[in-house]
Amino acid sequence: MKHSPLALSAIAVAAALSAAPAFAQDAAPAPSGRDSHFDGLYVQGFGGYSVQNKDSYDTLKFDTDGDGKYNDQVTTVTGADAFAPGFCNGLARGSTRANGGCRGDRDGAEYGARIGYDRRMGNFVVGGLIEGSKTEAKDAVSGYSITPAGYALQREMDWAASARLRAGYTPGGGALFYLTGGGSYAKLDHSFFTTNTANSFDEHRDGKNVWGWQAGGGTEIMLNDHMSLGLEYLYSRYNDNKYNVEVGQGTAPATNPFLLDSGSTRIKGNDKNFDFHSLRATVGFQF
């Protein structure tokens, strides 16, 4: 039986949470040292894996009349749908599905560092953190025209800067179980690929930086008065609706489907969100 990336991540975190108390009891120092755990300034590094959502209904969308609304169909001079061969969730490797196929979205490694501050009140902990991160995950969508030709849009993260709150419970020190959430600002890199050599293609990025949000939870275990290890699940979503590609005439005839309506056509992906699930291992130092 197959499970979604979110379900697998949740299972992994749940397993870590259930095992943490016993581990913390063995690894933590004497109770007197626990009074200062999760109280004050700390720094952490982390590494893990990002898993893309499986967006099986991703398509390209088109603005053929120049009104800024991507709700048009690219048609031939006979009125046929120029993209009748369809779309795929991934990167087209050729001019048709049979010629190269479509590579699916790529999951990838994730890594970064953070600095934070916790305030402990008995067995409850509240705090905030600032974090820098990068993921190697790539999200793509492609379409095939009857020419035949393939067209693909791909995006990946260059970097992200995030600020989150976290709140949790520590059963007497030694281990912390927490929830976290907040805002994030990221730079995304976009790429366009096509086997169409007749038309011209002009990429419009309208800025690479996007806003988003994050939410998740995890556990952290103190190995001694200063060092900690942890496991964290995080969901990240960024609003990415700026990038598009303008198709011009190039060497194509005036009867080219991209030119019939207004002389050019703009292409976008239909999914405005760049989102992924992360499972991270953390190592930290509390001052």
Domain spans of the chain, in order of start? 5-286
Contacts with 116 (C-beta within 8 Å, 6 or more apart), sequence order: 41, 42, 43, 44, 127, 128, 129, 130, 166
Which residues in the chain come in under a pLDDT of 50? 1-32
Determine the pLDDT at residue 31.
44
Determine the pLDDT at residue 64.
98
Determine the pLDDT at residue 185.
98
The pTM of this model reads 0.85
Query: Does 3.30.750.24 match the CATH number of domain 5-286?
Result: no
Greatest alpha-carbon span in the chain: 82
Alpha carbon distance 228, 220 (integer Å): 7
Determine the pLDDT at residue 104.
86
Residues constituting the chain: 287
Determine the pLDDT at residue 233.
98
Determine the pLDDT at residue 246.
97
Alpha carbon distance 261, 248 (integer Å): 12
